[in-house]
Homo-oligomer: A and B are copies of this chain.
Amino acid sequence: MRPTLLDIARATHTSVSTVSRVLAGGVSAARMSHDTRVRVLEAANRLGYRPNLVARSLRTRRSQTVALLVSDIANPWFGQIASLIEQSLHHHRYSLVLCNSGEDEELEREYLRLLPGKGIDGLIVVPVLHSRKALMELLPAGLPLVVLDRPIPGIACSVSSDQEQAAAILCAALERAGVKRVAMVCGPQRIVTHRRRCELVASRFEVIACHEGPAQRDTGRRAYIKFLHIEADAIVCTNNFLGQGVIDSLADAECPPTIGCFDEIALMDLLPVPIVCSVQDVPLLAEGCVQQLLPQLRGELTKPQPLVLPTRAVPNRRFQALLMQRRESSAAPGQ
């Protein structure tokens, strides 16, 4: 059995309240008899006392804990951002619990129902659910909330990248490479980022084929097979997993197509495939989340504005070479 305040009180011939005050350590601990304070501290130490945070949380209705509910922790992008959010929250003396909905609406609902009962002080969520209503009816009003990556109409407190700008720079890069007709690999259309990216790309290129599926590598692989006999100038993927899947299938291709991809592809500089990515500023997104959350946790009533961050286009070497090549040939059109 773990020792409780009562055990320490008994051991020091004091009362539970005295022990509690000493261990709380705030102002009240300062104006106490030096003697009892050291006695209590010594006993607490000796018995190896650890506060029962469940009891404390029940009493104070605070837990110094924030939950991060992500849609797929198997995606390195979310792992990276989770790691950064945890670090930042730690500086502010909050601990983070991470939950994973695995892109499953039902599982997300379950966590949303469960988490508030677990006494979290705030929630950061990468929602699979798309409507404000679906989300809010599961959460108690007043729970500090930040929506990450997938903004939802009507929820002001959100942090995400600028999809318009992201698509614009990606498309611009592809156009410079002479791309006119594209094949698209899209994640589920019910997810706002995938849908928006898809729409925006479609508005600038002729989309001659499109494959939709779960945002997993396998979807990319399947798409590539489907696209085998299609003459697209480029394949555009709405996230990194899909991109990885497509590129993974390119091993046999004698003349690999150009790839445009939202998010980052690791090691792309070495890949013998022209790739351009629209990469998000993950550290800024993470810090943005925390900054949106903190005032809410402190109970300040602020009018939070959605935070929308720019992305940047990053070409790999092969893509750059492609651009050079085009520039040369257009400089000498007569040849």
* A265: chain B residues within 8 A (beta carbon): 267
Whether A107 lies near B90 (C-beta < 8 A) is yes
Whether B269 lies near A272 (C-beta < 8 A) is no
Whether A99 lies near B98 (C-beta < 8 A) is yes
* A270: chain B residues within 8 A (beta carbon): 247-248, 250-251, 271-273
Whether A213 sits at the interface, judged by CB under 8 Å, is no
Whether B244 lies near A269 (C-beta < 8 A) is no
Whether B100 lies near A54 (C-beta < 8 A) is no
A residues 238-277 near B (Cβ < 8 Å) are 244, 247-248, 250-251, 265-267, 269-273
The size of the chain A interface, using a CB distance under 8 A, is 54
Q: How many copies does the complex hold?
A: 2
Bound-complex Cα distance A97 to B114 (A): 12
Bound-complex Cα distance A118 to B65 (A): 10
Q: Nearest chain B CB to A243's CB is how many angstroms away?
A: 10
Q: Interface segment, A39-47, A67-75, A198-206?
A: A67-75
Q: Nearest chain B CB to A78's CB is how many angstroms away?
A: 7
| Nearest 10 pairs of A and B residues by beta carbon | A98-B98, A79-B79, A97-B97, A74-B83, A53-B117, A76-B76, A54-B119, A251-B269, A54-B58, A86-B100
Interface string of A95-116 (1 = CB under 8 A from B): 1111110100001000101101
Whether A310 sits at the interface, judged by CB under 8 Å, is no
Most buried by B among A51, A74, A102, A317: A74
